[in-house]
Structure 1
Amino acid sequence: MTDAAQAWQSLADWKPQKIADLIAAGPEARLNSLVRTIADIRFDFTKTHLDQPAIGLLSDLAEAQDFAGRRKTLFSGGIANPTEDRAAEHSAERGEGAPESVHRAQAFHQRMRMLIDAIEAGAFGEIRHLLHIGIGGSALGPDLLVDALGRNSDRYDVAVVSNVDGAALSEAFAKFDPQYTLVAVASKTFTTTETLLNAASARQWLEEAGVDDPTGRFIALTANPDKAMEWGIDETRILPFNETVGGRYSLWSSIGFPAALALGWEAFAELLEGAAEMDRHFRLANGADNVCLLAAFVDQLYANRLDCQTRAVFAYDERLRLLPDYLQQLEMESNGKGVTLDGQPLGRASASITWGGVGTDAQHAVFQLLHQGTHLVPVEFLVAREPDHNLDLTHHDTLVANCIAQGAALMTGRASEDGARHYPGDRPSTTILLDRVSPRSLGALIAFYEHRVFANAVLLGINPFDQFGVELGKEVAKGLGEGSMEFDPATQALMAAALDEGV
């Protein structure tokens, strides 16, 4: 059996061929080996440098890193997060995991559904607006879901506020009538400084508007109910979730309450089922037949063989405009690590820097660098077959043509003796084609990215479920704000200047 060090060395000795040559040498075979369709989503890796020799080498690496064993641990509720000695059970929220964890998640979902039924029945009075307060995974996921799937819904107005900058909260206040507003406070620990400060300001806003029992308008979404009760929220308005569900993986739990309320329970259930479909594929498919592992093979090829430091994601669908933001946290917080599972220096690239935007806007902003710049950037395109509007279909046809044309142009390039007009080509892209943006397909898509992150972590031999790097900045900010820590003269002078203390 090849060990991991040997597998990495073999990958270093692998020589890439031009993408166009790989396609020309056997188009049908390439389509068969590098296109997968799961949950009505087509994943197309044909325009990458991945070839059969590379797949073989990366499969050896997966075996050496015990991919099958770590996957089994993940789905069985074992210790998938060794640095914190806990499981990682977001898939149990979708029905795939240890039976006791699945049962507990279902009970919490039923509690959430009952509260939503009560809201719809008028238990909180007439409610038109939901102000959702959270940060990180407690905000990015709900914001993505509501923005992508709730555009045509007339159920409730939802505003997601994460930034502690008061301007963000003020903007939400200006949109909503406090007499008809419900506030959801999302925090796994219910100790997050920014979230609790925003929540206190929201309570003050309700008080000043003369709302009867302002705290009675609050719902807590948390894995720490005791802290929520200390803050003043009644136990009947607390929606718990399992401690073993990480923040950036938590939209499937009660953190998804804004989406369940705004879209309706049936849509939320379809979201969970779409994710479960991808869970089943990831759990059962092996080797390159597993689309999440195959995507990780592509990622490692570019990050650790072709030295690409970034990965760009472009959604050619306005409904998915928040996906790049969501993926930034999912990918970089999960795999932005510098040590292996046994605490040794990683010694190679970890997570790529994820960035991106919306097509066709990005074509007129950043694609110059992608086509002719000196950086090699793997690009991921997302597009749907069905539009979400009733305008002339020329809009959608033009959108789709632009998306597919960009991938073709990146690959083929165009030769010219005029250097300014020369396009080198041989630049990689992946295309993800959805039948339509629906709760089911979005659930499957997000679960695909979660499992892709995990597969990358296994290939690297790291833990994707802790995030200690997030804590240091929080600690320093608290010390700076309270004056309880000593800082260098430059930092002290900057703080004094920012607070207008005469320095």
Structure 2
Amino acid sequence: MTVMNSYPQWQTLQRLSQQLPHMRSLFAEDPKRAESMSVSAAGLMLDYSKNRVTTEVMQSLLAMAQSAGLKDKINAMFAGERINTTEQRAVLHTALRASADSEIDVDGQNIVPEVQQTLAKMEAFVEAITSGEWRGFTGKAITDIVSIGIGGSFLGPKIATQALRPYWSGKLKCHFVANVDATSLVEKLKLVDPETTLFLMSSKSFGTQETLTNTLSARDWFLSQGGTQQDIAKHFAAITSNVAKATAFGMDEANIFPMWDWVGGRYSLWSAIGLPIALMVGMDNFRALLQGASDMDRHFVEAPLAQNMPVIMGMLSVWYSNFFNAQSHVVLTYDHYLRGLPAYFQQLDMESNGKSVTLDGERVDFNTGPVIWGGEGTNGQHAYHQLLHQGTALIPADFIMPLQSHNPLGEHHAQLASNCFGQTQALMQGRTFDEALAELAGSKLSDQDKAIIARHKVMDGNKPSNTLLMDKLTPQTLGALIALYEHRTFVQGVIWQINSFDQWGVELGKTLGNDVLARLGAAEESTDLDGSSNRLIRLFRQGHL
């Protein structure tokens, strides 16, 4: 017996998955389906009525969540228990947005005061930079921030900063560097002035290969442009646990911000890793971002399962992954500022739940971690939506849209909304052969050709989607949206009984990459790896094919 079929609800859900009527019928039978299958929380509204579910299916899925002890697991996470069992760590990104009067213990110590102290330190730092009080080595104020990190230390701050562009103060420009490809850094350095640029380095160990390499190269550039070793403290700051290495680099200890073992990289934008966000939008808006996430946290902890937005979304993902063999999930944003969000959710979900063993170390024999992908919905409609509508794969979709635009202009937003809602409708209802044939009734085609063309225009429909709406994209609604997907990811991991908070696959890639790096610069040619790797190393050392 495996994890999934050990749940008492397994057989019922298997049966129900094979007996469901088309969603057209479900809507015809229940005109108020959308009202009963919608839930609101933290400024967001989820309409999940366009899913292959009935009341009985939802009840069974939520009963499965109860069988998995989901409520207890949620409470364990928020209480600071070491639910990251392979690394013996608590998982407390939620503590980063907890209220100042909260008490959350790790190893017998309340961590909330330290979190609040860090927020206060961030606020002073942001004020010094944005007010012009902080001066570079020639006495000029800072105008540009170059944020250097990778993974969660890069993507979260970048996407949130991009999403909150309407709230930028206009006092700074921010540039993000992650890729160790020198081109990424060099092109950014072309845009900035060493006299007015501050580099933010994010690495818990101060030794992450890509991040350290980029930071060392940035220092070399700075020194080559007139700065001195003594000037580094005016132009470099760090978010790291390794204060000794940061100060040896030349940074002022006052400008070094902490990272904690109980915060994973992909969950870290709420911490000092989020300094680029705070610098661009101000601490009031950064705190609003935290508040939105905190609002979703409270909903996740307190709401009954049947009205719990992250639980519903997580269980729907389990439904399609494990009962319909869905291999991927698409996230479609209908707001230009949110165009990077699918990439962020991709990292969040796939790094968390891309696992093949249970918490007990047993090999799984069921789907975990679907491939997350997506982009701007309107652009996708003229490209990959073709596969969503008529392809053979079942691909559940999330549609995300604010009801109000930051840039109202003519009918633009109405057209955007019509695209969003029209796509969810088309995915759900599809087009029958008779409907397609009727559309061709007035054409001059022969009856035989009409029948052939009609077959090409048939769409089965019954393709599931969620629609997530908010009044307007604000720091608070963005915080709630990101926290929603964090908790959705956690729910899936609980059902699959996997550890959503380690990333040993990432670690293996780092280890082998370091080994290859040593061989690329070694005096003797590498011969003891596999034939392909040896040959690739040899070609690189030659520098030509």
TM-score (norm 1): 0.96
Do the aligned partners of residues 171 and 390 (structure 1) sit closer, same or farther apart at CA in structure 2, a change above 3 Å counting?
Answer: farther
Tell me which moved more, 329-338 or 282-291.
282-291
Match of residue 25, structure 2, among 10, 21, 46: 21
- Note if 1:41 corresponds to 2:77: no
Aligned counterpart, 2:316:
298
Tell me the amino acid that sits aligned with residue 320 of structure 2. Answer: Y
Separation in 2, partners of 1:71, 1:271 = 22
Tell me if structure 1 keeps the 8 A contact 2:232–2:251: yes
Number of the residue aligned with 2:8: 6
Letter in 2 for 1:102: V
Name the aligned partner's letter for residue 68 of structure 1: K
CA contact (8 A) 1:496 1:502 kept: no
Instruction: Give 1:146's aligned residue.
Output: 161
How far 1:228 moved relative to its partner?
2.5
Q: Distance in 1 between matches of 2:329 and 2:180?
A: 29
Per-residue deviation at 1:378?
Answer: 0.5
1:396 pairs, out of 389, 404, 413, with: 413
Distance change (3 Å), C-alpha of 1:398 and 1:32: closer
Q: Within 2, Cα distance between the matches of 1:230 and 1:305?
A: 55
Q: C-alpha distance in 1, partners of 2:262/2:206?
A: 15
Q: Which runs of 4+ in 1 moved over 4 A?
A: none
- Distance in structure 1 (CA, Å) of the matches to 2:182 and 2:231: 20
1:73-472 pair list within 5 angstroms: 73-95=76-98, 98-99=103-104, 100-119=110-129, 120-125=131-136, 126-151=141-166, 153=168, 154-212=170-228, 213-216=230-233, 217-392=235-410, 394-416=411-433, 417=451, 418-472=454-508
Distance 1:382 1:248 in 2: 21
Aligned equivalents of 2:6, 2:176: Cα separation in 1: 43
Residue 65 of structure 1: CA displacement?
Answer: 1.3
Moved more, 229-238 or 268-277: 229-238
Rounded to whole Å, the distance in 2 between the matches of 1:3 and 1:414 is 36
Measure, in 2, the Cα distance between the counterparts of 1:27 and 1:465. Answer: 41
Give the aligned CA root-mean-square deviation in angstroms.
1.8
Q: Distance in 1 between matches of 2:103 and 2:369?
A: 29
CA distance in 1, matches of 2:242, 2:311: 34
- State the SS of the aligned residue for 1:184: strand
Which of the numbers 475, 478, 491 marks the counterpart of 2:533?
Answer: 491
Asked if the contact 1:273–1:440 (Cα under 8 Å) also holds between the matched residues in 2, the reply is yes
Corresponding residue number in structure 1 for 2:510? 474
Matched to 2:423, the amino acid is: Q
Kindly name which structure, 1 or 2, has the bigger radius of gyration based on alpha carbons.
2
CA contact (8 A) 1:50 1:301 kept: no
| Paired letter, 2:283 | W
Which has the higher mean CA deviation after the structures are superposed, 205-214 or 224-233?
Answer: 224-233
**1:230 CA drift (Å):** 3.8
CA distance in 2, matches of 1:290, 1:255: 29
For residues 259 and 544 of structure 2, the distance between their equivalents in structure 1, rounded to whole angstroms, comes to 48
**Secondary structure of the structure 1 residue equivalent to 2:21:** coil
Distance in 2 (CA, whole Å) between partners of 1:430 and 1:391 is 27
Summarize deviations over 1:265-307 as a string: whole Å, max 9, x none: 1100100001100000001112121110000111011110011
- Offset of residue 234 of structure 1: 2.1
How far does residue 480 in structure 1 lie from its aligned partner after superposition? 0.8
Please report how far the alpha carbon of residue 229 of structure 1 lies from its aligned counterpart in structure 2 after TM superposition.
2.8
- Give 1:152 deviation, angstroms: 5.6
Gapped runs of 5+ residues in structure 1?
Answer: none
SS in 2 for 1:364: coil
Residue pair 2:266, 2:348 contacting (<8 A) in 1 also: yes
Q: Secondary structure at the match of 1:406?
A: helix
1:501 positional shift: 4.8
Contact (CA 8 Å) 2:103, 2:112: kept in 1 or not?
yes
Secondary structure of 2:478 counterpart: helix
TM-score by length of 2: 0.89
Query: How many correspondences in the alignment?
Result: 500
Per the alignment, do residues 330 and 98 of structure 1 end up closer, same or farther by CA in structure 2, a change over 3 Å counting?
farther
User: Partner letter of residue 133 of structure 2?
Assistant: G
Is contact 1:162–1:195 with CA below 8 Å preserved after alignment? yes
Unmatched tracts of structure 2, length 5 or more: 105-109, 434-450
Q: C-alpha distance in 2, partners of 1:365/1:223?
A: 45
Change over 3 Å in CA distance of 1:224–1:51 after alignment to 2 = farther
Task: Give the superposition deviation at 1:233.
Answer: 2.0
| 2-structure distance, mates of 1:26, 1:206 | 66
Report deviation, 1:151: 4.6
Sequence identity (%): 38
